[in-house]
Amino acid sequence: MRSTPTKRRQRSLLAILVVVSGLLAFSASSLMGQGFRWPEEPENLQVLPENVKGRVLGQYMRGFASALGVRCSFCHVGEGPDLTQYDFPADDKLTKQKARVMIEMVQAINGSHLERLTELGVPAEERIEVTCMTCHRTNNRPVMLDDLLAATIDSAGVEAAIARYRELREEYYGGFAYNFGSGTLIGLGEQLAGEGEVDAAIAILELEIEVNGESSNVYFTLGGVQARADMREDAIASFEKGLALAPDQFKVFFQREIDRLRER
């Protein structure tokens, strides 16, 4: 049986609110201790279902806080842990206004856009609905790690970007706020090399080797960057290291680069 639009909308909204217990901005016990109760008849609801009542409203709010890694004061008028002092219906803050737009975006994706996949023959049960957590990953500004590092290089240089990377890795490694896997730094190194930022590219690829270890991928990329910069001997050394690590079916690519450089 296919869900009705209303049921799909409510289900999508609830899916937005994946609660990560360790990231909740507040606990139920502390709220009750302050005499706070989620209102049974919330005021000024514009994108949440009109029939939302107290307990479910609390689930929504905790879900938003968890997905963005924020507290109530991020969107609502008020400060500190005492929620009885907050003016929740007020629309003063831009972040609250932006949140409504973002919720409508999620609704549109999970509703009309994913519905088009069903029209193309994708079973409804196989569709993966997006949530706030899908993009935000506990960041209130869900910028990707490589974009953040690239922006830092542009504004403050590669050393500042490397320092920023170390700070973020120390704070967030093991979670999913940022992707610290090898693909991030290797991809950034390729991007920088393509923009002519050879020194920055090499520094980023050397950082990859330091934090994620040696791999055929990083040495192939590093060798290519060094070759384009006429660092012939360094490039040969990188390709040789990659050759030793590469699976048999890929060794031919490393050997071809080594032979080409030696023929110069």
Tens-place pLDDT, residues 118-164: 888 888 888 889 999 999 999 999 999 999 999 999 999 999 999 99
| CA–CA distance, 115 with 64 (Å, rounded to integer) | 25
Superfamily of chain region 145-262: Tetratricopeptide repeat domain (1.25.40.10)
More confident residue, 264 or 212: 212
Domains of the chain, by residue range, sit at 5-136, 145-262
| CA–CA distance, 16 with 60 (Å, rounded to integer) | 8
More confident residue, 14 or 247: 247
CA distances from 143 to 10, 137, 151, 165, 192 (A): 28, 10, 11, 13, 18
Mean pLDDT across the chain: 87
Cα of 72 vs its chain's centroid, Å: 21
pLDDT at residue 14 in the model: 52
pTM of the model: 0.78
Radius of gyration of the chain (CA): 25
- Tokens 């963005």 belong to 68
| CA–CA distance, 47 with 104 (Å, rounded to integer) | 7
**AA identity, residue 264:** R
| CA–CA distance, 151 with 243 (Å, rounded to integer) | 33
Question: Average pLDDT for residues 168-186, to the nearest whole number?
Answer: 93
Residue-wise pLDDT tens digits, 88-107: 999 999 999 999 999 999 99
Question: Average pLDDT for residues 4-9, to the nearest whole number?
Answer: 49
Least confident of 27-31, 41-45, 116-120, 142-146: 27-31
**AA identity, residue 194:** G
